[in-house]
């Protein structure tokens, strides 16, 4: 199985984050099409400008995976979690959410922390989102 990366654009100047969605979302799956199916199930969509959900000048909020899946979730080529020094860009105060094939999730923050639940992430980082 590989991890497929879904990137979020801050269309309209806002971000969306919850127990399923973050700055980036990685989904572990047998294939890209299986990862896309899971993405659609958790609230990722690829047609926001066409449907009027997203700002037409900013573009769609979510993008389908590009390139091949990866052996592990990465950020700018570095495996998660990152140390603060390895992450000069930040995540805009949002988690990176990793969905594992077994149904578990992990939440990574921009300071190198990782959490087993969204509630644990929020208790340290505050509520992310718009």
Low-confidence ranges of the chain (pLDDT < 70): 84-85, 87-90, 129-130
Kind plus residue range of the DSSP H or E element containing 128: none
In a domain, residue 107? The reply is yes
Q: Give the span between the Cα atoms of 15 and 23, in whole angstroms.
A: 8
Dihedrals φ, ψ of 24, to 5°?
-135, 150
Q: Let me know if residue 36 belongs to a domain.
A: yes
Residue 129 pLDDT = 61
The reported pLDDT for the residue numbered 36 is: 97
Sheet of strand 96-99, all strands in order from the earlier edge strand to the far edge: 62-63, 2-8, 24-29, 96-99, 105-108, 114-115
- Residue 31 forms part of a structural domain: yes
Q: With respect to residue 130, please indicate whether it lies within any of the assigned structural domains.
A: no
Of 42, 61, 16, 15, the closest CA to residue 100 belongs to 42
User: How many domains does one find in the chain?
Assistant: 1
- pLDDT value of position 102: 96
- The CA distance from 54 to 37, in Å, is 21
| Residue 9: per-residue pLDDT | 92
pTM for this structure? 0.90
Domain coverage including residue 120: 2-125
Q: Does some domain include residue 48?
A: yes
CA-nearest of 88, 83, 108 to 22 is 108
């Amino acid at each position: 199985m590989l991890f497929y990366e879904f990137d979020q654009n801050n269309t309209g100047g806002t971000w969306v984050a919850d127990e399923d969605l973050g700055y980036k979302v990685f989904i572990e799956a047998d294939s890209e099409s299986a990862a896309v199916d899971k993405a659609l199930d958790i609230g990722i969509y690829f047609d926001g400008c066409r449907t009027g959900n997203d700002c037409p000048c900013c573009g769609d909020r979510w993008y389908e995976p590009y390139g091949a899946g990866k052996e592990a979730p990465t950020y700018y080529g570095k495996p998660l979690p990152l140390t603060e020094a390895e992450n000069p860009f930040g995540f805009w105060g949002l988690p990176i959410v990793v969905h594992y094939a077994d149904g578990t999730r992990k939440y990574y923050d921009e300071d190198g922390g990782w959490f087993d639940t969204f509630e644990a992430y929020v208790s340290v980082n505050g509520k992310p989102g718009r």
